[in-house]
Structure 1
Amino acid sequence: MKKIYGVMGDPIEHSMSPEIHNDAFINHNINACYHHFHVRQAELADAVRGMKAIGVSGFNVTIPHKEAIIPLLDEVDELALAIGAVNTVVKRDGKLIGYNTDGNGFLQALREQYTVSMAGKKILIVGAGGAARGIYFTLVKEGADSVDIANRTLEKAEKLVAECPYPTNSRTLSITEAEEGLGDYDVIIQTTAAGMSPHIDASPIEITNIKKGAFVSDIIYNPLQTKLLKEAERHGAGIQNGLGMFAYQAALAFEIWTGIFPDTNRMKEIVLSKLGGNTC
């Protein structure tokens, strides 16, 4: 019997998850299919009950349901609970169990390109939204000892640090303060939507003062090279877009469902093909 997987969100038609997961099922000879599920906020509880009732084996969760789905699940992984968001659900022994693979997906992608040890490195996260939360909590949980948060609304950054359940000595900065002190940081992680297509001329932070040899990671992958990354590259920094994070968070979800970690390079190639190989 063919197993059913999918992704629920609103909107959802733009998601590339069906292409990469269905390809992975075929590549690993798994009798399964992955679908879009358009679920509006008012329909979320009914949709979750329906997923369980019809025997869906697992599903991803995207905007705007990552937080709201938590009380509707039978169990939630410790990190996902700390982050306060779930992006992956698996049905196991009749229970729906929630996980968050965003932070670990980012970390694996970062390690793929930034091969330097994180020990003793100073990290700056730009933004204090949901993506920043997942990345921040994961980095701190994994032992990063110096992670600061810069955000236009300082109160949001302060709230993020205060709610971190893991030991940290993080500082919070305004964007202006971060720009002035940018030379202190070895790794800069951009987590906002600034610079995402179609607003490709936007940048969340001015990087004139960037440290020589720093590494800049932007979680956006459309365009593949944001204005921020172009400027960072011009200043001699190493750069990374969000394609790796997208592939790794999907691969980790696939592993939760099937026990198999798929080929992330193959996933990246599918997304690049879907984007037409362009940078905007």
Structure 2
Amino acid sequence: MKEKTFWADTEFFGLLGTPVRKSLSPAMHNANFRALGMNALYSPYEVDEESLPKVLPSLGALRFKGLNITMPLKQKIIPYLDELDELAELCNAVNTVYWKNGRLCGSNTDGIGFVHGLKEQGRYDPTGKHCLIFGAGGAARGVAFALCASGISTITLWGRASGHERIGKLASDLNAYRSGVCRIQSTEPGDLPKLFGESELVINSTSVGMTPETDATPFDTALLEPRHMVCDLVYVPHDTKMLREAEARGSRTLAGYWMTIWQGVEAFRRWTNREPNVEVMTRTILEHLTRREGTSR
């Protein structure tokens, strides 16, 4: 069947941030568009904080319907938006932008995507559990607030001393949202045995273990036990050293690409008010990860 393209009617979507060249979002979303028969195109754009004020106002006039936002713009874009949903306001970070009735709206689908993957693919209900999160950046904020909304009992934060202020700010914001949910914040390695002993759900939201530093782990995996559910937000490589060693110690695991897939699903829903082809999105991500990692090893 000959493919028809009506360029005047093409709807545009994109990813703003820097760097974006290695993102798998274009492949995932364009495969979904094709599967649904949409005349749409998703492209990555290298945009920094300085160029953002010039780029953003022009996109609506150029038939853009939705955007993903990545570092370093997840907070920098907020002043240019007309409206934020509750989770974006709580996180003070936006990863999804869409136009609604002439207004530019911001959402955060990272945490929603993580929790969906945790329940669906991880088959793990966070309700009533005690969670230990490594890191306090934008991804950690999205995940932490989504876990609060999903009924997590407590959240403990651990990070390097250089991130002390961010850890304190996230803890304060979490406790303002739900009193007492974040009782412990630490930057001391000596605290980790006790923290692991008190936690069931362990999440790495840092970049430790990401390509090319694939031999690193964010903590000593000897602290893990079979009762732990271990999640990595890193998705390149998809089988990080932390996850491999967690599995070897009998822990259950969840790979980072599931958050990538499900946050994309949630973003597509906000952009179009339609349901995506999740099977195609998942297959595309896995195919590209396998191909990319196969060529780099």
**Alignment TM class, shorter chain as reference:** over 0.9
Give 1:176 shift: 3.0
- Residue 160 of structure 1 is matched in structure 2 by 170
Give 1:131 shift: 0.9
User: In structure 1, which of residues 172, 189, 196 is the aligned counterpart of residue 185 of structure 2?
Assistant: 172
CA deviation vs aligned residue, 1:36-55 (integer Å, no higher than 9, x gap): 22212211011111112323
- Residue 267 of structure 1 is matched in structure 2 by 281
2:64 & 2:93 partners in 1: Cα distance?
20
Give 1:156 shift: 2.8
1:264 & 1:172 partners in 2: Cα distance?
37
Matched letter for residue 167 of structure 2:
A
Give 1:110 shift: 0.7
Q: TM-score, normalised by structure 1?
A: 0.94
Q: Is the partner of 1:124 in helix, strand or coil?
A: strand
1:263 & 1:187 partners in 2: Cα distance?
30
1:173 & 1:265 partners in 2: Cα distance?
40
Please, which moves more after superposition, 224-233 or 112-121?
Answer: 112-121
CA deviation vs aligned residue, 1:87-134 (integer Å, no higher than 9, x gap): 111111111101010010111111113324323221111111111111
Q: Relative contact order (C-alpha < 8 Å, sep 6+): which is higher?
A: 2
Matched letter for residue 188 of structure 1:
V
Please, which moves more after superposition, 197-206 or 7-16?
Answer: 7-16
- Say whether residues 1:215 and 2:208 are aligned partners: no
Please, which moves more after superposition, 256-265 or 56-65?
Answer: 256-265
Give 1:138 shift: 1.3
- Residue 203 of structure 1 is matched in structure 2 by 217
- Residue 98 of structure 1 is matched in structure 2 by 106
- Say whether residues 1:136 and 2:144 are aligned partners: yes
- Say whether residues 1:239 and 2:257 are aligned partners: no
8 Å contact kept, 1:186–1:211: no
8 Å contact kept, 2:268–2:276: yes
CA deviation vs aligned residue, 1:177-232 (integer Å, no higher than 9, x gap): 12343122211011000000110111111132323321100011111111111211
Matched letter for residue 15 of structure 1:
S
Matched letter for residue 105 of structure 1:
G
- Residue 67 of structure 1 is matched in structure 2 by 75
- Say whether residues 1:10 and 2:10 are aligned partners: no
| Greater helix share, structure number | 2
- Residue 84 of structure 1 is matched in structure 2 by 92
Matched letter for residue 14 of structure 2:
G
Q: 1:241 to 1:176 in 2, by over 3 A?
A: farther
Give 1:252 shift: 0.5
Q: TM-score, normalised by structure 2?
A: 0.89
- Residue 116 of structure 2 is matched in structure 1 by 108
Matched letter for residue 248 of structure 1:
W
- Residue 50 of structure 1 is matched in structure 2 by 58
1:26 & 1:140 partners in 2: Cα distance?
36
1:70 & 1:155 partners in 2: Cα distance?
21
- Residue 4 of structure 2 is matched in structure 1 by none
Matched letter for residue 271 of structure 1:
I
Q: Is the partner of 1:30 in helix, strand or coil?
A: coil
8 Å contact kept, 1:180–1:209: no
2:17 & 2:69 partners in 1: Cα distance?
6
Matched letter for residue 39 of structure 2:
N
1:158 & 1:59 partners in 2: Cα distance?
30
8 Å contact kept, 2:15–2:45: yes
1:39 & 1:114 partners in 2: Cα distance?
34
CA deviation vs aligned residue, 1:35-80 (integer Å, no higher than 9, x gap): 1222122110111111123231111111111100000011111210
